[in-house]
Amino acid sequence: MHKGIAGRLLEISSKIEAACHLAQRPDEEIKLVAVSKLQSIDVINEAYALGINNFGENYAQELAEKFSACPRDIIWHFIGPIQSNKVSLIAKHANWVHSIDREKIARKLNDALESEGKKIHALVQVNIDKEESKSGILPEDVVDFTNQLIAHYPNLILEGLMFMPNINASKKAKIDTMNKIKGLHKSLLSELPSCTHLSLGTSSDFEESILTGSTILRIGESLLGKRS
Ligand SMILES: *Cc1c(COP(=O)(O)O)cnc(C)c1O
């Protein structure tokens, strides 16, 4: 199993293409984010050389270190839980944040961005299964929450929704969940037409996620290899 990043990228790209074809969607609609948490700078540089330009990180400090060491035109996505004492690192280094899940974090991030003189692309993390252990905004609160963000936090450019699937769920349960997200996204779009993005797919389910409307795929180990 030593295909390397280039071989895996080819395989994933052709699966994305096939899923887009099946879903009758143009593949330009799909943004592939290589999840590089706990991967080395060398791995990121190798993927970058193959044309990957979007990388996802979960830890603010690690993001800051990689930001300084990697090519300047990389688009960094912060996809992990946001701690309030880390918002300024995220404001400084990320271009996208996928995991806005409470107003306090939105406010602090907005303030930190104000000091940076910067705006960030933001997704609201949804807890569609209402799992107590998982962070995210409950589906019935999503429209209110997004309206709050738009009204009060202008440095967050609201782009849509993010969801973290339960990796232990059955395939059928995952598809049910994805369909719920798709419905929720539709109702959000009818109020806020600029919220076009849906960050749904991960390594194990990205093809299904394309069929249910995902525009951003977060793919880690199946592209970059095992995390150390
Ligand atoms: C780690 C992570 C991923 C990628 O997981 P893989 O199994 O390596 O593809 C995607 N999304 C989030 C939020 C993550 O934390």
- Terminal Cα distance for the chain, rounded: 17
Give me the tens of pLDDT residue by residue for the chain, a chain 228 residues long.
457 999 999 999 999 999 999 999 999 999 999 999 999 999 999 999 999 999 999 999 999 999 999 999 999 999 999 999 999 999 999 999 999 999 999 999 999 999 999 999 999 999 987 666 678 999 999 999 999 999 999 999 999 999 988 878 888 888 888 899 999 999 999 999 999 999 998 888 899 999 999 999 999 999 999 998
**Domains of the chain in sequence order:** 5-224 (3.20.20.10)
Q: Pocket around ligand 1: residues whose beta carbon is below 6 Å from it? A: 35, 37, 58, 79-80, 164, 202-203, 218-222
d(CA 103, ligand 1 centre) in Å: 24
Which of 218, 222, 223, 227 gets mutated to test ligand 1 (max ligand atoms within 8 A of its CB)? 218
